[in-house]
Amino acid sequence: MKNNNTIINSAKETIKLEGEAILNLANFINEDFVNATNLIYNSNGRVIITGIGKSAIIATKIVATLNSTGTPAVFMHAADAIHGDLGLILEDDVVICISKSGNTPEIKVLVPLIKNANNKMIAITGNKSSFLGQQADYVLNTFVEKEACPNNLAPTTSTTAQLVLGDALAVSLLELRGFTSRDFAKYHPGGALGKKLYLRVLDISSVNKKPAVTLDTSIKDVIIEISENMLGVTAVVQNQKIVGIITDGDLRRMLAKVDDFSSLTAKDIMSSNPKRIEEDAMAIDAMEILEENGISQLLVEKEGNYAGVVHLHDLIKEGII
């Protein structure tokens, strides 16, 4: 039990220390942050982000975030840069160097080379008076009082601060660009996230069959229509317009009420004014309608005419839910 309490207390203390350090970053958002953001926003080039050790790992994440939110970015390892990769940096590129101390040997070699090429340089460092801090055009301060590591050695709080400041920079640029969910979808076409952003109802309903009966269709033929199309539903249509819907549940309720249904037709058991959606609507919107109304099928329209069915199972299969 003592060991368990030690683990819990250690985890809580780590979260507390890092949380306080992150909140303190807000005090460092100043004119340099504004100028650095505008520099990147107005640049005709890319953002080259470099670092060494754990800072290099953070740099790769910031690069990924920038790329996915509309700011072209490239990672360049500081050690590799001074052994040939410096050629990654083009004339109009903006360079971001990440280093807690700002005084590592690789940074001291790399920074003058960047300055000689006349590229603008932004420092993300916890030491404004360091070699990096003094040489950079703009300094984004990530100073932390101490690492979460009990020995104050392993990069923990400091790398978290770097990561959060990178997110702040990416979001500021995103908002400057007016980056929308549709723009986001262009960069995230795969997986469930992408599908939520770009998949339309038509993409799903067009694959399904299109069950339909008229007002005067016999119950026997309604049952056949529902069974053959395997969607658990059929639309009731008149002049291509949806006038009702019949589901498996409607048939079960009918059988529980009447012994002889030979004279009944679709209009006798259908539900009028069913929920529907336009085929060019987003699939995620269809999902919301289904969830809000506790239903499994939704009729689809195209310019007011019946166009098909989208089923809850289709959306689950596509990873929308």
Residue 190 lies in a domain: no
* Residues 168 and 263 placed together within one structural domain of the fold: no
Residues 222 and 255 in one domain: yes
Q: Which of 32, 37, 45 lies closest to 118, judged by CA?
A: 45
Residues 149, 8 share a domain: yes
**Count of structural domains, the chain:** 2
**Residues 155 and 208 grouped into a single domain:** no
The last residue of a domain, from among 119, 149, 179: 179
Residues 144 and 227 in one domain: no
Residue 184 located in a structural domain: no
Alpha-carbon distance of 223 to 42, in angstroms, equals 64
- At residue 262, the pLDDT reads 85
Rounded-to-10 torsion of CA 64, 65, 68, 74? -40
Domain at 226, CATH number: 3.10.580.10
Q: Which of 203, 214, 251, 210 is nearest to 229 (CA)?
A: 210
In a domain, 120, yes or no: yes
Q: What is the pLDDT along the chain (321 residues), one digit of tens a residue?
A: 668 888 999 999 999 999 999 999 999 999 999 999 999 999 999 999 999 999 999 999 999 999 988 899 999 999 998 888 888 999 999 999 999 999 999 999 999 999 999 999 999 999 999 999 999 999 999 999 999 988 888 899 999 999 999 999 999 999 999 887 666 766 666 655 666 667 889 998 999 999 999 999 999 999 999 999 999 999 999 999 999 999 999 999 998 888 888 899 999 999 998 999 999 998 889 999 999 999 999 999 999 999 999 999 988 888 776
* In-domain check, residue 21: yes
Does residue 165 belong to any structural domain of this protein? yes
Looking at residue 67, its pLDDT comes to: 92
Same domain? 32 vs 132: yes
pLDDT at 82 (0 to 100): 83
Residue 155: CATH number of its domain = 3.40.50.10490
Neighbours of 226 (CB within 10 A): 20
**Domain match, 161 and 213 both:** no
- Expressed as residue numbers, the domain containing 304 is 201-317
pLDDT value at residue 198: 74
